[in-house]
Amino acid sequence: MIRIFDFDKVAPEEILNRDIRAEADVEAVVDGIIADVRRRGDEALRDYARRFDHAELDSLLVSREELEEAFAAVGEEFLTTLRMAADNIRHFHEQQVHRDFMVNDTPGVVLGQKYTPIQRAGVYVPGGTAAYPSTVLMDVIPAKVAGVGEIVMTTPAGPDGRVNPNILAAAAVAGIDRIVKSGGAQAVAALAYGTESVPAVDKIVGPGNIYVATAKRKVFGKVGIDMIAGPSEILVLADGGCNPAWVAADLLSQAEHDRLATAVLVTDSPALARAVQAELEVQIPALPRAAIARESIDTNGKIVVTDDLDKAIEAANLIAPEHLEVCVADPFAVLGRIRNAGSIFLGRHVPEALGDYFAGPNHTLPTSGTARFSSPLGVDDFVKKSSFIYYTPEALGRVKDRIADFAEREGLHAHARSVTIRYEEGR
């Protein structure tokens, strides 16, 4: 049963303990896998597919025929849903596109900044206990909007050697360029270093288990990554006017993800806290993934009761959740006071699932409290910024002595000379 805590009587670390560091044995396994993929390339990927996915792969790449078969398998109704969701995601992310700028308000001086999309991105899509076509849309479409030249997706095949048709259909709708049948740390290694079938990419995005997260951390520097994602989280900030059955259902929408997932209710209503605690016991047994939800709720779930809504907001900012539902009478009055959250869901009719699948904002979000300093996946993750400078000879001449003095105060005389030499007679 989920536990109830009094906010004023519990230490912050007791509210949410989230250590996403890998154990030493995970580190060792991932190191070995990365080294093996670098050494043996495609052969290693096939061996890992055989060992972990029980799949014999003639080709590591998804064929055009497989994509067409997936389209037929999922049906027109789901394809329509995918296209509608893709349109919403595309429209939202198009608002994030930056414009180059140039400043020319000083005579002889031009300053500016230009945005350049990365050349090749890798998207990791999980395929273990559940398949996530929504992740395909969320991770691929911002890259397409950003103008990335090529997008390579990796996802494991099943024992039949085929990728889940829902994932393939989403990939086709999103406009993926290449799909590789590989998962786990080995897929991350292939994206980072390249193999015969997998081109090396410039950045890797997408969620995964502890082996995937550890591999992303280890290849960072060779390639860019979006974030190190921990287990999924939801925090429901609710007042006493909420329906406890709705709140319990929203908590379970995360608890069913993973035994390590965290579901937290913060409320100023002791009555709601008790009602939600009871409602969870009613709803959990009815879930197909009841065993996962039960362990998540019993081990990581919490209900935090505060004296008032102000303290509830304080608790939410302290926890800095991945998903934050603001289920109060006037959610827009609260919005400006939320400092730390990956994605914010405003109102009692905005369950997290709306954002997970359909509304448009990205669902690849900072976890483990990193919403204190990081952001959801977006167009910015797929572009680089370059500044540029232009000075006429006259403009440089006006400031040359100041630059030289600055450089010499740092002991960098060649820096100073590189400026002043341009104004020496005969040089």
377-404: pLDDT as tens digits: 999 999 999 999 999 999 999 999 999 9
Three-state DSSP string of 99-167: CCEEEEEECCEEEEEEEEECCEEEEECCCCCCCCHHHHHHHHHHHHHHCCCEEEEEECCCCCCCCCHHH
Sheet with 224-225, strands from edge to edge, namely 178-181, 150-155, 120-124, 203-205, 224-225
Residue 200: which region, alpha, beta or left (left: phi > 0; alpha: psi -120 to 50)? beta
Q: Is the pLDDT assigned to residue 224 strictly greater than 80?
A: yes
> For the chain, how far is it from start to end, CA to CA, in angstroms?
81
323-337: pLDDT as tens digits: 999 999 999 999 999
Can you give the pLDDT at residue 175? 93
Count of CB atoms within 10 A of residue 412's CB?
A: 12
Average pLDDT in the 14-40 region?
Answer: 82
122-160: pLDDT as tens digits: 999 998 656 899 999 999 999 999 999 999 999 999 999
| Residue 91 annotated in active site | no
| Residue 323 annotated in active site | yes
Catalytic pick from 66, 256, 279, 322?
Answer: 322
At 352, is the pLDDT very low, low, confident or very high (cuts 50, 70, 90)? Answer: very high
> Can you give the pTM of this predicted structure?
0.93
Can you give the pLDDT at residue 284? 98
Catalytic pick from 93, 257, 323, 363?
Answer: 323
